[in-house]
Amino acid sequence: MTLDIRPLHPLFAGEVGGVDLRRAPGPDLVAAIDRAMDQYAVLVFRGQPLSQDEQIAFASAFGALDIGLAKLSKSRSRLDYPELIDISNVARDGSIAPSGDKRIAGALANQLWHSDSSFQAVPGKYSMLSAVILPGPSVMGAGDTEFADMRAAYDALDDAMKAKLDGLVAEHYALYSRMWLGDEDWTGEQKRGMPPVRWKIVRTHPGSGRKSLFIGSHANRIVGWPVAEGRMFLLDLLEHATQRKFVYRHEWRVGDLVIWDNRCTLHRGRPYNMTQRRELRRTTTRDYDAVNDGLAEVA
């Protein structure tokens, strides 16, 4: 099976046409999307208004689903499945969460460059984000999502930097970015519930065979380095990796489904008027292959 794909960026990202995702995909379509993901890393499907059931059925065809930080939450999601991650500014009772609410802190953390679930021993492989309700135009922004190609970012490094990165390991911690933003309201039990993990900074993407950077806002230090030196180095590396030439910016429409490969991209949400309702639903498959590729050990 061959997909109809229109490139969206010179380096990666493509828009797929002629596919109906409201029916669970068969093996041929799954294989075709896998091949396209190996090449493009980000795929956009327009006009796919999925129900919760349909999104779960579609995502499950690509592997076991992860629930991310919901493992640490003591409150029940307002969605029907724990595997549906609520990317919204909406409280459980359906109201818009007020400024200062924990949901808003989570929404702001999503505006940092990151790879989904890089803080877990089994991180995220594909993330699939479905746009349900979008805010109107605002001087504060429209809540676009940006994606950065970590394979191209690695390729653009000079030989000296590539040699320096060889063998370096970063520690990723689930709550690092949250606490950096001032969200300190986490119990000792929650902090122990998702301890840091360690990953090679440079990994080989299994589908394409290309080397890729594995960094982002969950990476809080370099193993074996003084903390301050490691964090400054990671910030410089992130600045290189997210230059505009490596970035595709997605302007959302209701009914969009966007799939990205967490193994070779970073992403971040952009600001929007949080007094207006914005609802997106994410599903993320688990990357069991990464356990063999990186240092998937609890720190």
- CATH number of the domain enclosing 64: 3.60.130.10
Whether 102 shows a pLDDT value over 90: the answer reads no
- Residue 9 contacts residue 151 (beta carbons within 8 Å): no
Mean pLDDT estimate for the chain: 92
Determine the pLDDT at residue 232. 98
Q: What is the mean pLDDT of residues 241-263?
A: 98
In sequence order, what are the beta bridge partners of 279? 88, 133
Whether 295 shows a pLDDT value over 60: the answer reads no
Percent of the chain with pLDDT over 90: 77
3-state secondary structure the chain: CCCEEEECCCCCCEEEECCCCCCCCCHHHHHHHHHHHHHHCEEEECCCCCCHHHHHHHHHCCCCEECHHHHHCCCCCCCCCCCCEEEECECCCCCECCCCCHHHHHHHHCCCCECCCCCCCCCEEEEEEEEEECCCCCCCCECCEEEEEHHHHHHCCCHHHHHHHCCCEEEECCCHHHHHCCCCCCCHHHHHHCCCEEEECEEECCCCCCEEECCCCCEEEECCCCHHHHHHHHHHHHHHHCCHHHEEEECCCCCCEEEEECCCEEEEECCECCCCCCEEEEEEEECCCHHHHCCEEEC
Ranges 60-69, 128-137, 176-185: which has the least confidence: 176-185
Q: What is the mean pLDDT of residues 115-135?
A: 95
Determine the pLDDT at residue 103. 81
- Residue 127 contacts residue 250 (beta carbons within 8 Å): no
Whether 238 shows a pLDDT value over 60: the answer reads yes
Radius of gyration, CA atoms only, the chain? 18
pLDDT band of residue 138 (cuts 50, 70, 90) is confident
Residue reference for tokens 């490969």: 261
> Which one is predicted more confidently, 292 or 114?
114
Distance (Å) of CA 181 to CA 35, 192, 277: 38, 20, 22
What domain count does the chain have? 1
Determine the pLDDT at residue 296. 54
Determine the pLDDT at residue 220. 95
Determine the pLDDT at residue 292. 65
pLDDT tens digit sequence for 79-92? 999 999 999 999 98
Q: What is the mean pLDDT of residues 68-88?
A: 84
Q: Which structural domain, as residue segments, surrounds residue 230?
A: 4-298
Determine the pLDDT at residue 20. 94
Ranges 105-109, 110-114, 227-231, 251-255: which has the least confidence: 105-109
> Which one is predicted more confidently, 295 or 265?
265
